[in-house]
Amino acid sequence: MPYNGIQKGKLIRFDNSDFDFIKDHYDDVDNITGRFFLSGDKTASFKNTTLSFTVQCVHPDYKEVENIIITKGRFLNEDDLINFKKVCVIGRIVKEKLFEDEDPIGKEIVVDDITYKVAGVFYDTGGEWMMKNILVPISTAQKVYSGSDRLHRIVFTANGLDIPQMAALQAQVVSDFSKRKNFDPKDRRAFRANNNAEDFKEFQSMMTAINGIIWLVGIFSIIAGVIGVSNIMLIIVKDRTKEIGIRKALGATPFSIVSMILQESILITGLAGYMGMACGVGLMALAKNVSTEFWRNPEVHLGVAISTTLVLVIAGALAGLLPAL
């Protein structure tokens, strides 16, 4: 957008000084990493194996920002950054494809004619596609691939801030950079600032709505079950009118007759409920063999199982109460 006499179409670019400005200027920023993107996948070779992988150029704080777990060796550090070292950290899938059962630490791989020494192997909670990445120091990548200090993206965390505070920090960053880069702060195409805290809030709201729907379905299912069992018990009581009369004639108290019918109702409800629970647990045991980006390790919490048992007992008692009376 036109701004301060500058015509529209001005290109806004980051460089290392912008990274340092954010790191030093905002006290709430605890982890920060730049991103330098290379076009397309790069060929990585080890011995006689050559495959294509994505190479990401990052700062050491990338480990905390992306919640990376180092399973072998180490992550990139400040010494790698300062001395432009040609080291890399590879994802678990890269390790399995290139090295198979061989220990990759200290070995060298060739990435598009550039030799890197493997410093570590990582597991990423973000999914399998993230573990197909090769991570290299951003300073090395800038020197080797562009010869400049350009950055394509800057990502940082501000732990401890609530959502309104994060929104305020975002607004402050946009305002400060509009002055640094001379652009309209309302211009989303000049400077894109994405706040994941707000995205997470929307995601939480969506999950709350889904949980509410699941609760409604569960409650109405239990009500339908109670009505069904209650009807069954009404038929049973009607068919056993003579038996109940004989029991009363022989001295059975009203409490003993009511408790007998309630026990039968609880038994029917509990047995059917446990059969359903067993089927559900069995299905989830089978589902553990299926792992995707959005579905991993389903389980039944012990507290849920105990509370379900109590609900079944109460529902069974309610189902048998009216026929018993």
Q: Where are the domains of the chain?
A: 14-159, 166-194, 199-324
Q: Which residue's structure tokens are 């340092």? A: 20
Q: What share of the chain is helix, strand, coil (3-state, %, to 5)?
A: 50, 20, 30
Question: Where residue 116 falls among pLDDT bands split at 50, 70, 90?
Answer: very high
Distance, CA of 199 to CA of 204 (rounded, Å): 9
pLDDT at 325 over 70: yes
Beta-strand pair 153-157/31-37: antiparallel
- pLDDT score of 299: 79
293: three-class secondary structure by DSSP: coil
What tokens appear for 109 in the block? Answer: 């791989």
Distance, CA of 284 to CA of 280 (rounded, Å): 6
Q: Lowest-pLDDT range, 131-135, 246-250, 283-287?
A: 283-287
Mean pLDDT for all residues in the chain: 88
Distance, CA of 118 to CA of 97 (rounded, Å): 14
Percent of the chain with pLDDT over 70: 99
Q: What are the backbone angles phi and psi of residue 228, rounded to the nearest 5°?
A: -65, -45
Beta-strand pair 114-124/87-91: parallel
- pLDDT score of 293: 62
Identify the residue with better confidence: 156 or 307.
Answer: 156
Across the range 66-72, mean pLDDT stands at 92
pTM of the model: 0.69
Tell me: the pLDDT tens digits for 136-193? 999 999 999 888 899 999 999 998 888 889 989 999 999 999 999 999 888 888 888 8
Identify the residue with better confidence: 144 or 198.
Answer: 144
Close Cβ partners of 89 (under 8 Å, ≥ 6 residues apart): 70, 73, 74, 75, 76, 118, 119, 120, 121, 122, 134, 135
